[in-house]
A and B are shown apart, each in its own frame.
Chain A
Amino acid sequence: MHVRLGVPVAQEHGEPAVYDQPIHTGEGGHDVTVGADVNAMALHLARNTGPVTHLPGNEAFVNVVQTFRLLADGRPATWASVKPTDGEDPAIAEDFERQLASFYECPRGIPDNVEETHWTTNSAPPGVDSGQYATAEEA
């Protein structure tokens, strides 16, 4: 699945940017538990501030939250989008998007004006079309 999150301010250029993270959820990848209780996971992570967590079946969630915190300087995501990759069960991406949007308390899906407001892949600054998001629906 392809995870994209809105970074409110990227420290290097001081503007909103798209966070990209493809995640393999099949054999040898990072698991998603469809229907996972996001509040319970958040509480677990708050109580377990050390190096080891215990949320088996939710490795993708731990992976994204941990990584995004580093790359977004601890700020929450402003939007969350998860698209399935070829051959992947769309229900997994659908529910994972729900989990991330719930955790960050942000809207689901890529904003319609993402090219106007964010740095996007291929180093396109706000206002420059990266060619990757013809419409939010296609992205």
Chain B
Amino acid sequence: MDLLIRFLRFLFSPFVPQAAWALKMNQGYDAEVVGLFGDVALPPAAGTSTATTATSMTDSGATFGSNVYKWHMVICGTAYGIIQSHTGTALTIDRWYSLTSPGGSAASTPGSTTAYMILPVGGPCNFIHLTTTGSFTPSATDTTLSGEITTAGGGLVAKLATVAHVAGTSTATLTTVHVANGSDSLPAVVTGIGVTGSLVAAKGPLLYETAYGSSATAASSGDQVTSVDTITL
């Protein structure tokens, strides 16, 4: 048996990567600029909040302007959020993330008066969302992933990806292994993915979309769907 396994391991290259090269969204270019180069010319934005909710933070004395910090990361206490929009005094975020467990449950809402800082760069775009849209076709003008799986408690909802890179090369990969569970609506025929900066469905930025070469059907609880998105740096 050992010899057979050794033979199969390397000779047959048994895996079928699900997602190949990603199409970058128009929105993705903007997010990439913020992520790579930052907005250091913008006025500093730090202070103490005057009110917070699960998806917002207010500083009644701030002068943020209007949406200039969109997609930026705001750190408030020990949690952070990705700014979706804002007014002069109030930020709307996707949710609060734990610094140590960004792919897990939402972090507790910071206290109403908590020190905060809006970073001059965007947050990491390392969440993979699955879609079941038939004949899924990525489009650069998309701002949300159509047909995204959002089943509450399901294992096929958005997930934190791992990032892999070989030193001295010009590509990186984002990989997730989603596991269907009893809450998912099965069978689920997965046709593609979206890579975003948010674990929350329909929140941005949407960086990439990729259609699978062939669909992947998760038929029963415990079935795993692997997505490997290769990005040229």
* Chain B nearest Cβ from A125, distance in angstroms: 7
Q: How many residues of B contact A (CB 8 A)?
A: 54
Contact yes or no, A70 B230, CB < 8 A:
yes
Contact of B166 among A17, A43, A56, A63 (CB under 8 A): A17
Contact yes or no, A51 B166, CB < 8 A:
no
Contact with A along B1-31 (1 / 0, CB 8 A): 1101110111011111110000000000000
Contact yes or no, A52 B162, CB < 8 A:
no
Contact yes or no, B2 A39, CB < 8 A:
yes
A29 near B: Cβ within 8 Å? yes
Contact of B216 among A27, A52, A69, A70 (CB under 8 A): A52
Contact of B15 among A22, A39, A43, A49 (CB under 8 A): A49
Q: What are 15 of the A-B contact pairs (CB < 8 Å)?
A: A7-B166, A10-B166, A15-B168, A17-B167, A17-B169, A22-B162, A26-B104, A51-B212, A51-B217, A51-B226, A56-B222, A66-B228, A71-B171, A105-B6, A119-B166
Set of chain B residues within 8 Å of A28, measured between Cβ atoms: 101-105, 159-160, 199
Residue of B nearest to A76 (CB): B10
A18 near B: Cβ within 8 Å? yes
Contact of B13 among A48, A59, A74, A103 (CB under 8 A): A74
Main secondary structure of the interface of B (DSSP, over half): mixed
Contact of B175 among A13, A63, A87, A119 (CB under 8 A): A63
Given known contacts A21-B165, A26-B101, A29-B160, what 6 new A-B pairs fall within 8 Å (CB)?
A: A10-B169, A28-B199, A52-B218, A63-B162, A67-B228, A71-B164
Complex: A45 Cα to B17 Cα, angstroms = 12
Contact yes or no, A54 B222, CB < 8 A:
yes
Complex: A49 Cα to B9 Cα, angstroms = 11
Set of chain B residues within 8 Å of A120, measured between Cβ atoms: 167
B45 near A: Cβ within 8 Å? no
Contact of A46 among B5, B164, B214, B215 (CB under 8 A): B5
Complex: A75 Cα to B15 Cα, angstroms = 13
Residue of A nearest to B164 (CB): A21
Residue of B nearest to A59 (CB): B177
A36 near B: Cβ within 8 Å? no
Set of chain B residues within 8 Å of A45, measured between Cβ atoms: 14-15
Residue of A nearest to B213 (CB): A51
